[in-house]
Amino acid sequence: MDSEFMAVPITSRENLSVENPPIKCRMEIFIMRIQQSFCHALEAFEPTAKFLVDRWERPEGGGGISCVLQDGLVFEKAGVNISVVHGVLPKEAVAQMRSRGKLLTSDQLSFFATGISSVVHPKNPHVPTIHFNYRYFEVIDPSGSVQAWFGGGTDLTPYYLDEEDCRHFHLQLKQACNPFGADKYNKFKEWCDNYFVISHRGERRGVGGIFFDDLEEPTLENSFKFIQSCANAVIPSYVPIVTKNKDKPYDTPERNWQLLRRGRYVEFNLLYDRGTKFGLFTPGARYESILMSLPLLAKWEYCHSPSPGSRENDLLQVLKNPRNWLLDEECK
């Protein structure tokens, strides 16, 4: 294993180490460092469980590194995946990009994409699930013209509402956004609230965070620095919450509620998530890595509804009506 990363990079060392490497190579190096630091941060909670490291290659071009931990003391399932893929876009993907306003002149587009995606499902119902994804994408038309952009975000899915944890999480994200414009956090927080929606149930997947796509302004280089700031905020936003809550006692009804909420997580990821759909329909898709986001255990009960006034219902009301988690003085 490369001591700097969880595995040998997908792109050759020779190409990654050239003088003045292109932004796609710098992004690959950065996300591999984020992968290693986050895996090590999670493993620090686990006395025996370690990440399985699975480096894979894609016949159509590129590959990835999937790191998965299962049945730990604190984490029931945690995945931290890197992908570095290239090839030809399916027409469905081109149509989706056009629907977002991309000016694409051909249906035959080559692409390069690299990103990191992680989902952590803890055992204790008082520890939230976290998801983050940061990615770089470029398309090349037959004339050789290149369009490139970044996307991603970080969001939190608790099972029981702890307002202090929500404020801490959102404040870390806001501080990561602040150097790049006073409006960044508010804009991307609203985008997150409106994206992670389980439409058929009228509720959000969690208490939000930040989410954005098609980021290339004011410059691609500035957007890369923004991505780095957000990704570097993941550990300080989440690890203190795990430390605070991992040893809290819980009972069978609380565990049952956690499994029901995980069922909602599955519904969103399989029915609505654009990244999951893009991955599943990309030629040569690696389904094990794409479906890494799904929990080890989940549950569905017919017409389940929490009792009015219960802690479970308190969470549900917030999921139906997103809140501003930061106090006025913290938003200045």
CB 157, CB 127: distance < 8 Å:
no
So what's the pLDDT on residue 292? 84
40 flagged as catalytic: no
CA–CA gap between residue 260 and residue 255 (Å, rounded):
9
Give the per-residue pLDDT at 288. Answer: 86
Sign of CA dihedral 282, 287, 292, 294: positive
pLDDT of residue 99: 56
When computed from its CA atoms, the radius of gyration of the chain, rounded to whole angstroms, is 20
Using one digit for the tens of pLDDT, what is the confidence trace for 166-222?
999 999 999 999 999 989 999 999 999 999 999 999 999 999 999 999 999 899 999
Please tell me which residue in 131, 170, 200, 304 is annotated as part of the active site: 131
Is 109 within 8 Å of 141 (Cβ atoms)?
A: yes
- The full set of domains in the chain, from first to last, is 13-298+307-330 (3.40.1500.10)
Low-confidence ranges of the chain (pLDDT < 50): 1, 329-332
Residue 332: its pLDDT value, please? 45
pTM over 0.85: yes
Tell me what pLDDT residue 216 has. Answer: 92
